[in-house]
Every structure is written in structure tokens, then in C-alpha cells.
Amino acid sequence: MKDDVYILGIAAYYHDAAAAIIKNGEIIAAAQEERFSRVKHDPRFPKNAINYCLEEAFIEPSEISAVVFYDNPVLTYDRIIHNSLLMGESSFETFSNATNSILGIKLWVEDHVLKTIGTLGKYGKIIFAGHHISHAASAFYPSSFNEAAVLTIDGVGEWSTTTISHGFENKISVLKEINYPHSLGLLYSAFTYYCGFKVNSGEYKLMGLAPYGEPVYAKQIYDNLIDIKADGSFRLNLDYFGFLNSHKTTNENFNRLFDGKEREPESRITRKEMNMAASIQAVTEDVVKKLAKHALDITGSSNLCLAGGVALNCVANGKILQDKITSNIWIQPASGDAGGALGACYVGHHLVLNEKRTVQPGLFDAQKGSYLGPKFSNNEIQAFLERKNYPYTRFDTTAEYFNELAKELADGKIIGFFNGRMEYGPRSLGARSIIGDARNKSMQSKMNLKIKYRESFRPFAPAVLEEDKSAFFDLDVQSPYMLLVAPVKESIRNERTLQQAAGSDDMIEIINEERSSLPAITHVDYSARVQTVTEETNSRFYNLLKAFKALTDVSVLVNTSFNVRGEPIVCSPKDAYTCFMRTDIDILVLEDFVLYKEKQPAFEDNKNWRNEYQPD
């Protein structure tokens, strides 16, 4: 009888290190290192995530068939060499830093694996998967498509920044690519930086800021920064960017083009940043739609799979649906580098070991709701609470439990909801979530300022029962991973009464305007980043939504990540309790246990905890 085939996939050293493990092609576990180390976007070798994956798989390291790394550092160094050959003496600092990093650390992943688990698997040597093929694999193999066009777009891997592939059965063939330095991800990051947000984490904020502005700079972008062909391929004009020979994405030419230098982080956001955000978002959507259409055309497919950091731009993803480019779309929830760990597993399994692929009929996908991290049993949680003397309530029946929580939500309470296996990817999906009543007009402000401690313009996203999605949103497809933005239904919108003064940059009055009967999740352009919830993938969260609906006739809740700004999403009950006590969350739910803030003892905390987390 054939041995089980376990593939361990690793992503590390750039940002968002992670590990994943699959068994005979089925995902067993996947997690980002940051959740264990409590360092946001932790790039370091993911020892903790690897050990978690092995524990979850319940195997010894000797049972691993192969270990696959999601990047080829030698090919990346090839790019560094040619970058220096192009830029000459001015690139010495970049060359030196990259040399230390790649030849000193990234090249030696084999040693780090051996130090952590003592083996390279039965294959006997490290497999370096291509970065973009790892992304492509993470998008195609967990989908339910036997065949699909696969589009990957990011900052840069080794050389590729964009690839179009064709996935068929157990194989992926890369058909076309765009190479460094021409990168949609780096272009978007340049604007992220210029608008005063942090590169690699602030792109999401830029996307959220865009609806506040007008795309008045789009023409300047098209005329000066990027040339886009009909097939979606593009080339940047590097005269305006600094990343070829400095650590900055922009340069003086960029500043001159947009009349001034970059915004200082944490300073007031003005109309200029809103318009810059709107402009780059419009250009990005244009490119993504053209690329998607071209990918479908050249593969002859009607199915589209997406991955790479730019695939986290859920507004652009939503436009693919709205423009009817295709309605058969699957996006890897961990589309950034963390997802490369899972993709690397599949590269090992299907492309290296040539194992067959089985698509389960009737399943939405093989990602298991992306609940792939650790869970904690009621016994473990009870032991934790009693050891710490944290008072809790436990209800006699599940009906009482859900009814009580629904009532508290309807009364305006905010709940930290800790349930089941932790999510894999940047979004909270009802396993490590902060939830609230979307009908409540002060919910957005309260959550931003008193819980997340983040910028007040940032919108919140809704979770809705799958069967009710069309009642609240113009959305016909399942959206379990919050990767699609859809308009709020017209029937629940309020007419805009606010006439903002031309050129005004006062966002607060816009934020506080009630744009629909679900003001907390309706963005300024009436859009929402929707999560549809089914009983199969998350029964506890589903039943809570049902209980809330029974009470209020509305099956929508605000669902935001369970963390404060700059902190990774919580992993353990201890992390959850700490976040609960550091914020204005009213109630903490740890599986069956309910904790009320007013009953908790004084919390002994590190007084400087706010300095622990760098604002992201």
C-alpha cells in the first residue's frame, strides 16, 4: 500500500512568512508565523508555523515526502545582478544589502529546515518552487475547477511580476509573463508610500480611501507612469520610480509630477491623497480587468483563478464580476506571500511528484473555509480561564447562548468572537473576529477609534448568511473569503443628502452620513466587501447570524479582524483576552464561554503595550 504523501510548504524572508502542509493533496494545516510570534508580517523563518503544521498533521518530520520553498533565491539574485548592471555605481547600496540578505540568509533555507525539523523529507533536498508558480498553484489547485485560466499579479517574485497560466487537471502551464521592473504591485505600492501609508500593509488602506476621491490624476498616470496595451500587459516608465537603485519606491520626478513630496505618515489626509487613491485604483482596475479578459481569451476558459498580492484588491476583483468578464472566479484567500506556502505544497505534490488531482464534486472548493490554523477545545479554554480566575458564563443550551449573544449585538454591544480553527490569510472570517451590529450608525466610529485604534475613514466589512446575500447586496456568487466588493442593494440605500463643499477634505462628516440601513458596512460609494457564511464551513458563526436575524430581521453583522492596529490577528485564548481587555470590546466569546467586560478583574498589563505594535 502506498505511503501517504505529506508535502510541507514554506514561505519566508520577504514578508508574511508561513507554513502549510498537505496530505495526499488535501490541506491539513496552514498558518502565518506572525500569529505565533506576535510580530506583524513576521518575515522570519516560520519555525512556529511549521511545528504547528506537523502537530496538526500528527506526523513525525521523517514522514514528510518533500519540503518545498516558495521562491528561488538564486533566480532572485540573478535579477539583483542585472539590476546593478543596468543602474551602475548608484546601485551599490542596493546590491550590497540584497547580497547580504539573499546569499547570507535566503539561500540557506535548507539549513534552517534541517535545524527546525531535522530532515528535508524523503525527497532528500529542498525544492525551490518558482514564486509565481507558487501563487498560481495556490489559486488553481484548491479551486473546484478542473481547468482554468490562472492569473497572478504581485510586486515581484524572482523576475516575474505578472503571469498567465493554464491549469488543467494536475498541471499548470505558464503561458506568458511580465517581468521586473514592470510591476502593478510596485506601482500601487508607490502610491501607497506617496500617500503616507506603509508599503506591504498600507495598500489596503489606499483601496479603502479611493471612494472618497475622484480619479483626477488618472490621466497623468496613463500619460507618464504606465503604458497599457489592449491585452492588459503594461510597462512602467522608470524615470518616475526609485526602487531600481534605492529603498524608496518614488523619486523627485514623481514628486514633481504630483506637485509635492509624499505625505508624512499619520498626518492629516487631504483631498489630494483621496484623489491619488481614486486615480491609482481606477488604473489598477483597468489593468486587472484587461489581464483577466486576456487570460480567459488565450486559454479558452471561462474559469478564472487569481492570486498574488494584487488579488487582495477586492474592489478590482469585484469589477471582474460586475463587468461580466466572468462569473466563475476563485481567489486564494491568502493571496499574498503567505499563500505561497500552500502553493509550494501543491507544486511539490502535482508538478514535482506528479501526483494526480481529485476535484470533489459538489464542494465549493478545497480550502475548507480557510479555517486552517489551530483551534482550542472547551477544556483547554476552561483550564485557561480558571487558572487566571477570569469570570465567565456558560449557557445551559445553545439556543440560550445564541439568543443572548444576538440580543447583546442588537443592543449595540461589540463582541470579540473566538471560534474554531484560525483563519489562513489576512481576513477574519468569523473565527477570530470582532463583530457588531451593522445597523448601528455609530458602530464604524466606535470600532475604529476605541477598538482598532485606527484611521477613522477605514470601512468595515459585512458577514451575511449565504442565502440572504442578494437581499442586501448586488451579489450573485458565493463570497466566503471577503475578496469581492459588491454594491449595497439600492432598496436599502439612503439618498445622499450631504453636499460636500468642493475640494473639502473633511472626511468625518462623510463617514458619519448614514448611507443605508446598514451604515456601519456601507462605504462612501455604497460598496461593501462581503463575506457570505454557510453552515457547512462555520456553523457557530452561521447560527449566530441566524439568531440575530430572528431578533432583528437582518442577517448581517460587521465582521472585522480580532486585533488592534499593528497587532497580528489573535491566535490563542490568551491573545484574545489581552486584546479584549485593552480595548472597548464589551463581550468576549471563547467557544462556549462568554465573558462580560464589567465582570472582569483589573487587568495587569504592560503599560507600554501601545508601543509594542508599530502602526501599520
Partner 1 sequence: MNTNQTKATAKLIKEIFDELMSLGTSQKKISTAPDSSAESYFTPPVHGDSTYFYSCSFQNQNELEQVFKQIFNNGYEHIPAAITTKLAKLAFLLKENNTEQDTELSPFIYTLY
Does the footprint of partner 1 cover residue 36 (CB under 8 A)? yes
Q: How far is the CB of 86 from partner 1 (least distance, A)?
A: 5
CA–CA gap between residue 418 and residue 561 (Å, rounded): 11
Q: Does 86 bind partner 1 (CB under 8 A)?
A: yes
Residue 163 vs 517, nearer CB to partner 1? 163
Could you say which DSSP state residue 243 is in?
T
Using the minimum distance from each CB to partner 1, give the nearer residue, 99 or 403: 99
Q: 562 and 582 in contact (C-beta within 8 Å)? A: no
- The strand pair at 593-596 and 432-437 is best described as unpaired
DSSP string, 402-450: HHHHHHHHHTT--EEEE-SSPBSSSS--SSEEEEEETT-TTHHHHIIII
Quickly count: other Cβ atoms within 10 Å of residue 293's Cβ: 19
Can residue 592 be called a binding residue for partner 1 (CB under 8 A)?
A: no
User: Is 289 a residue that touches partner 1 (CB under 8 A)?
Assistant: no
Answer for which of 124, 361, 362, 503 binds partner 1 (CB under 8 A) is: 124
Between CA 506 and CA 524 the distance in angstroms is 13
Binding part of the chain for partner 1, among 92-100, 256-264, 470-478, 506-514 by CB under 8 A, reads: 92-100
300 near partner 1, judged by CB under 8 A: no
Contact 32/16 with Cβ under 8 angstroms?
yes
**Number of residues this chain uses to bind partner 1 (CB under 8 A):** 86
Query: In the Cβ-directed half-sphere of 590, how many Cα atoms lie within 13 Å?
Result: 29
Among 8, 186, 312, 347, which residue interacts with partner 1 (rule: CB under 8 A)? 347
Rg (CA), the chain: 24
| Partners of 417 in the β-ladder | 433, 589
CB of 390 to partner 1, least distance (A): 12
**226 vs 435, beta carbon nearer partner 1:** 226
Indicate whether 380 belongs to the interface with partner 1 (CB under 8 A). Answer: yes
Verify binding: residue 126, partner 1, rule CB under 8 A.
yes
Q: Between 345 and 554, whose beta carbon lies closer to partner 1? A: 345
What phi-psi label fits residue 177: left (phi over 0), alpha (psi between -120 and 50 degrees) or beta? beta
Residue 172's DSSP bridge partners are 167
- 62 or 470, CB closer to partner 1? 62
To the nearest whole angstrom, how small is the minimum distance from the Cβ of residue 452 to partner 1?
23
- With CB under 8 A as the contact rule, the residue among 24, 59, 63, 108 that binds partner 1 is 108
Whole-angstrom distance, CA of residue 401 vs CA of residue 392: 13
Q: Which of 99, 119, 246, 253 is in the footprint of partner 1 by CB under 8 A?
A: 99
**Which position among 25, 121, 130, 340 is part of the footprint of partner 1 (CB under 8 A)?**
130
Whether the CB-CB separation of 321 and 293 falls below 8 Å is answered with no
Query: How many Cα atoms sit within 13 Å of 584 on the Cβ side?
Result: 13
Give me the helices (H) in 259-302, please.
271-299
Specify the residue for cell string 499579479.
153
Rounded to whole angstroms, the Cα distance separating 225 from 471 reads: 41
Which alpha helices (H) appear in 300-397, and where do they start and end?
Answer: 314-322, 338-346, 378-388
580 lies in the binding site for partner 1 (CB under 8 A): no
- Residue 66's SS3 state is strand
Nearer to partner 1, 47 or 489 (CB): 47
CA 262, CA 273: separation in Å to the nearest integer?
9
Q: Does 443 bind partner 1 (CB under 8 A)?
A: no
SS3 at position 27: strand
Shortest distance in whole angstroms from residue 186 CB to partner 1: 13
- Determine which residue in the list 168, 204, 364, 384 makes contact with partner 1, applying CB under 8 A: 384
Query: How many C-beta neighbours within 10 Å does residue 203 have?
Result: 25
Is residue 111 part of the contact set for partner 1 (CB under 8 A)?
yes
Interaction residues for partner 1, span 159-218 (CB under 8 A): 159-160, 163-164, 174-182
Binds partner 1 by CB under 8 A, chosen from 60, 62, 96, 398: 96
By CB under 8 A, name the one of 7, 8, 18, 48 that touches partner 1. Answer: 48
Q: How far is the CB of 17 from partner 1 (least distance, A)?
A: 10
Asked whether position 242 contacts partner 1 by CB under 8 A, the answer is no
Angle of the 539-552 helix axis to the 398-410 helix axis, nearest 10: 60
Identify the residue among 68, 207, 292, 414 touching partner 1 (CB under 8 A): 68
* Residue selected from 24, 63, 119, 123 as contacting partner 1 according to rule CB under 8 A: 123
Q: How far is the CB of 28 from partner 1 (least distance, A)?
A: 16
Q: Please identify, using beta-carbon distances, which residue of 180 and 194 lies nearer to partner 1.
A: 180
**Residue 133 binds partner 1 (CB under 8 A):** yes
Degrees, nearest 5: CA angle 366-485-469: 75
Q: Would you say how long the chain is, in residues?
A: 616
* Binding segment toward partner 1, per CB under 8 A, in 19-27, 76-84, 330-338, 533-541: 76-84
Coil, helix or strand at residue 281: helix
Interacting residues with partner 1 between 498 and 557 (CB under 8 A): none
Report, in Å, the least distance between residue 414 CB and partner 1.
25
Taking alpha carbons only, the member of 461, 171, 484 closest to residue 306 is 484
Cβ proximity to partner 1: between 96 and 358 the closer is 96
Residue 607 interacting with partner 1 (CB under 8 A): no
Find the shortest distance in angstroms from Cβ 592 to partner 1.
Answer: 17
Q: How far is the CB of 481 from partner 1 (least distance, A)?
A: 23
Rounded CA separation 531/429 (Å):
7
> Counting contacts by CB under 8 A, is residue 219 touching partner 1?
no
Is residue 374 a contact residue for partner 1 (CB under 8 A)? yes
**Is 100 an interacting residue with respect to partner 1 (CB under 8 A)?**
yes
